[in-house]
Amino acid sequence: MVNAVLKVADLGFNYFKGPTIFSGVGFELRAGGVLTILGANGAGKSTLLNCIAGLARPKAGAVYLGGRDSAEMSFREVATFIGYVPQTHNPAYAYPVREYVVMGRTPYIGAFGSPRAGDYAVAEDALARLGVAHIMDKPYTEISGGERQLATIARAIAQEPKILLLDEPTAHLDYGNQMRAIRLIRSLAEEGYAVVLTTHVPDHPLFLGGEVAVFTRDKAVVVGAAEAVLTDELLTSLYGVPVKTVHVDGRRVCYAQ
């Protein structure tokens, strides 16, 4: 693929003396591409994100960012490519939300520097885009779990990376905020971000389009266009209940029988 901003090549992982979690995983994303990762609990979805982000060392294969092997890049260089939103984040300090989000600007601030007015403007704009500008002066420890998730996504956006890695970005959100987050992800892709996210909701990749990587029950990882890969048969096998897809208002949606 020409101009791939992210390339995952034959990636494999296992914990020390443990069984193989996944192997042979490969895909490429251009700017503006979306890849959604589906799989059962414990299948390895978060571990794959951690390998891409450089937070876990793969046992095989490599991750390339803009054509460069990420293992040969500095932390600061990787941070200009990847913005990572973990599944959970437990606050240690009662930073105002604005200060928490502006930490996303760290790759652009010197080792002994402080955020400038422009950095705060980027952070405040990211909060406004997620509809939570009203919490920017609240202590991060005193906002709800859903608000904390949106603030963490805002911090990743404030980082202005080329790639967004989102580990279950809708896990703590109510239905309305789930849909706002998914629509935001689609709009970010349209702006040119490459997005990789994990989810337990098969409707998400059907809504977002793009590619999907499915961790199957037999430890295989199936990668391809979401519309082609997410058949009723595969979804039924994946979730262990009968799953059907139907077209509603011009797009496919899932339901369990």
Residue-level pLDDT at 1: 43
Picking from 22-26, 43-47, 158-162, 169-173, which range would have the lowest pLDDT averaged per residue?
169-173
- Average pLDDT for residues 23-43, to the nearest whole number? 93
- Whether the per-residue pLDDT at 178 is higher than 90: the answer is no
pLDDT higher at 238 or 91: 238
Instruction: Say whether pLDDT at 83 is over 80.
Output: yes
Of 64, 41, 84, nearest in space to 215 by CA = 41
Whether 26 has a pLDDT exceeding 90, the answer reads yes
Dihedral pair phi/psi, residue 95, rounded to 5°: -65, 145
Taking CA atoms, 154 is separated from 46, 104, 185, in Å, by 20, 9, 12
pLDDT tens readout for residues 152-162: 989 999 999 99
Among the listed residues 165, 164, 125, 131, the one whose alpha carbon sits nearest the alpha carbon of residue 146: 131
The residue with tokens 């989102």 is: 166
Q: How far apart are CA 167 and CA 189, in angstroms?
A: 16
What does pLDDT average to over the chain? Answer: 91
Spell out a b/e string for 151-181, using b for 16 or more CB atoms within 10 Å of the CB, else e: bbbbbbbbbebbbbbbbbbbbbbeeebbebb
* pLDDT greater than 90 at residue 7: yes
The more confidently predicted of residues 2 and 95 is: 95
Domains of the chain: 4-90+161-256 (3.40.50.300)
- In this model, does residue 11 exceed pLDDT 90? yes
Mean pLDDT along residues 50-68: 94
pLDDT given for residue 99 in this prediction: 95
227: region left, alpha or beta (phi > 0 left; psi from -120 to 50 alpha): alpha
Choose between 2 and 105: higher pLDDT. Answer: 105
Q: Say yes or no to pLDDT of 31 above 70.
A: yes
Q: How far is it, in rounded angstroms, from Cα 85 to Cα 221?
A: 22
Q: Cβ(101)–Cβ(151) under 8 Å?
A: yes
Tell me whether strands 68-69 and 221-225 are parallel, antiparallel or unpaired.
Answer: unpaired
Compare 144 and 123 and report the one with higher pLDDT.
123
H or E, element range at 230: none
- Residue carrying the six token digits 């430890």: 219
Residue pair 85/167 in contact (Cβ under 8 Å)? The answer is: yes
